[in-house]
Structure 1
Amino acid sequence: MTMELTYKQAGDYLIPDLEVDGADEREEMPLDKYGMLRETFLEEHHPGTHTSMLLTGRLYPHLREIDRQAREQVDRMVADLKKQNGVDEAMKARDQMGWVQAVNSFTAQAEEIVLAEIVYK
């Protein structure tokens, strides 16, 4: 099976007309925080892998999966930390600022771990 490659003129250069499978996926399901961080990490530290995944249509499914895994792990870890430290709805009712500080602290701890173990691995 041969595939004919076409080109378009861009100034003095001929640029190949390439269509990436799944190119519309980015518009259909935009990436959240962890997916975007993963894409930036791949672009900066593994450009060959990023390009290969992009051209083969594997990049956006990969980024969405990383995003899903990271969000689920952060949610799970924050819930566990809240339970271990007695940060519950009763605390939220009696000390709202203390509750917010605790949850923010737990979220920061969980994100630090998730970024190292999932996003930047």
Structure 2
Amino acid sequence: MNMSSNLSYTQTGDYLLPNLTLHQPKTPLGKYGRLRRTYLKDHRPVLYNTMLLNGSLYPTLTELEQTAAAMKKQLMADLLAKNPAPDKEKNQMAWVQHMNSLQEQVEEVIRTELIYS
């Protein structure tokens, strides 16, 4: 029997089963990484399991988290440049409503382009 040299095996009855370990990140996933993981698990189970077993799931989710954070920062800056916020000192409620509206637009773009694609 030809076995790969980088795997160790355990005899279980008549079978040799590979000793597999999953490497999880030292830092917990953020909001976008968790959303993407849930999406993959629920809607793309074959891809999810393949990535989980070959060790690419958590690095990919961590990278997506960083991409989403950079995208969020850039989109907010772009939207604020096109749609300046009201004066926060003079009209705080209008400022909060404006910023929440822009935030929701950015979140929608991130969900559409990164999480659920």
- With the shorter chain as reference, the TM-score category is 0.7 to 0.9
- 1:6 CA displacement: 2.8
Q: Secondary structure of the equivalent of 2:85?
A: coil
2:21 to 10, 19, 22: 19
- 8 Å CA contact 1:78–1:103 kept in 2: the answer is no
Q: Which amino acid aligns with 1:58?
A: S
> What is the match of residue 41 of structure 2?
43
- 1:16 CA displacement: 7.1
Distance 2:21 2:9 in 1: 11
Equivalent pairs counted in the alignment come to: 109
- 1:78 CA displacement: 1.4
Unaligned runs of 5+ in 2: none
TM-score (norm 1): 0.79
- 1:17 CA displacement: 5.0
Q: Is 1:6 matched with 2:10?
A: yes
Give the fraction of aligned pairs with identical amino acids, expressed as a percent.
38
- 1:115 CA displacement: 0.7
Q: Runs of 4+ in structure 1 displaced over 6 angstroms?
A: none
> What is the match of residue 109 of structure 1?
105
Unaligned runs of 5+ in 1: 9-14
TM-score (norm 2): 0.81
